[in-house]
């Protein structure tokens, strides 16, 4: 059974927390890894395939076999938390059953502020419909968590004041969930606004009274901060999103690894697990400082091999370009 206490974890991030990023985060010392949110309606149309070559489980769309989610059970099953988007307990249960045997836990996203989620009653909309959220979590605990022997958790945001936030948390901790992560921003807050930890200690206390773990999310930064948050606010663990997206070596003890080394390691994972150019490019351009010439080069690369050559020799593309220009001039 997945253990939550004292852990520093990778946050769920659509387009980012895929297998290459999870594998690299684990390599740098990350304790538990959340996958990207996948919506229940998509999950129920997934088909499970054992990918013998990669030793991975692939969940593909039944209609066209397009890859939706890939996991390496030997590496991550005991520490993988699958996050779902849902607004309906029946669909949530049906969807969770598709992946339950291949993951360590299932988490419900109750914090996404994006129009797509909120419009469909999912994500942060669930913070305003606590009866529905309680129904979803209770159903998942009873119909998936218990029979499959895996914990269920939820990720929320803070509400506009302490009483409302505590009132919601008091209801959620009674559903049988094992962990509650609180992203310490309200729904309207922008990611650049500093996280607010004012209610964190109170939330952690309510969780502990009910016998469940509490994780903090929002500007956590690096491993050194885990102990600080545990000591200062009484939380059981901490979750990092953008810090890990920019440099997954944030999970290691001590200073960050140089970004170029991290990029090379990430690309190796993309190749190993056969991820697409567009995935590698999306993540690498978050890791390379925007002002570095390599940023533009990677953004224009046509293949993983080309990206690898650029990372091994960051000036290669410039050299190709300038040699072409000089030939043109001399002719
Ligand atoms: C996110 N976030 C997010 N949250 C979630 O519950 N499910 C998801 O799929 C996503 N997707 C996602 C994608 C990207 C690219 C980013 C940057 C963020 C929110 C994320 O998990 C986290 O709550 C916030 O980013 C706050 O944490 P940090 O960034 O301050 O550590």
Which tens digit of pLDDT belongs to each residue from 20-54?
Answer: 999 999 999 999 999 999 999 999 999 999 999 99
Query: Which pLDDT does position 103 carry in this prediction?
Result: 98
Tell me, in angstroms, the distance from the centre of ligand 1 to residue 13's CA.
5
User: Is 222 annotated in the active site?
Assistant: no
Query: Which pLDDT does position 313 carry in this prediction?
Result: 87
Query: Which pLDDT does position 319 carry in this prediction?
Result: 55
Residue closest via CA to ligand 1's atom 27 equals 218
ipTM above 0.95, yes or no: yes
What is the pairing mode between strands 46-51 and 56-61?
Answer: antiparallel
Residue closest via CA to ligand 1's atom 26 equals 218
Residue closest via CA to ligand 1's atom 20 equals 241
Query: Which pLDDT does position 326 carry in this prediction?
Result: 41
Tell me, in angstroms, the distance from the centre of ligand 1 to residue 216's CA.
13
* Residue ranges for the chain with pLDDT beneath 70: 314-331
7-251: CATH topology: TIM Barrel (3.20.20)
Query: Which pLDDT does position 328 carry in this prediction?
Result: 36
Query: Which pLDDT does position 315 carry in this prediction?
Result: 67
Beta-carbon contacts of 155 under 8 Å, excluding residues fewer than 6 positions away, are 12, 83, 107, 108, 109, 110, 111, 180, 181, 182, 183, 217
The ligand 1 site (C-beta within 6 Å) comprises 11-16, 36-37, 83, 109, 111-112, 155, 183, 191, 217-220, 240-243, 245
Tell me, in angstroms, the distance from the centre of ligand 1 to residue 320's CA.
38
Domain ranges of the chain: 7-251, 259-330
Query: Which pLDDT does position 136 carry in this prediction?
Result: 98
């Amino acid at each position: 059974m997945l253990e939550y206490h004292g852990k520093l974890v990778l946050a769920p991030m659509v387009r980012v927390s895929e297998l290459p990023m999870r594998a690299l985060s684990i390599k740098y010392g990350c304790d538990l890894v959340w996958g990207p949110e996948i919506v229940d309606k998509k999950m129920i149309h997934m088909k499970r395939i054992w990918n013998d070559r990669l030793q991975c489980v692939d969940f593909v769309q039944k209609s066209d076999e397009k890859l939706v989610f890939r996991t390496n059970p030997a590496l991550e099953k005991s520490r993988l938390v699958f996050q779902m988007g849902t607004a309906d307990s029946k669909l949530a249960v049906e969807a969770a059953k598709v992946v339950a045997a291949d993951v360590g836990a299932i988490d419900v996203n109750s914090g996404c502020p994006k129009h797509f989620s909120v419009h469909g009653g999912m994500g942060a909309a669930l913070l305003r419909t606590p009866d529905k959220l309680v129904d979803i979590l209770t159903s998942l605990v009873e119909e998936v968590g218990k029979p499959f022997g895996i914990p269920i958790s939820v990720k929320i945001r803070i509400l506009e004041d302490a009483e409302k936030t505590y009132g919601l948390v008091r209801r959620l901790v009674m559903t049988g969930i094992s962990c509650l992560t609180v992203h310490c921003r309200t729904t309207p807050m922008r990611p650049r606004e500093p996280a607010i930890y004012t209610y964190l200690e109170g939330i952690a206390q309510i969780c502990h009274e009910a016998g469940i773990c509490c994780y903090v999310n929002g500007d956590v930064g690096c491993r050194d901060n885990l102990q600080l948050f545990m000591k200062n606010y009484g939380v059981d663990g901490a979750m990092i999103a953008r810090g890990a997206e920019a440099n997954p070596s944030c999970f290691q003890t001590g200073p960050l690894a140089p970004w170029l080394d991290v990029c090379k390691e990430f690309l190796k994972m993309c190749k190993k697990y056969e991820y697409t150019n567009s995935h590698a490019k999306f993540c690498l351009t978050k890791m390379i400082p925007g002002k570095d010439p390599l940023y533009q080069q990677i953004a224009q690369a046509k293949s993983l091999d080309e990206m690898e050559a650029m990372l091994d020799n960051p000036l290669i593309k410039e050299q190709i370009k300038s040699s072409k220009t000089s030939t043109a001039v001399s002719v």
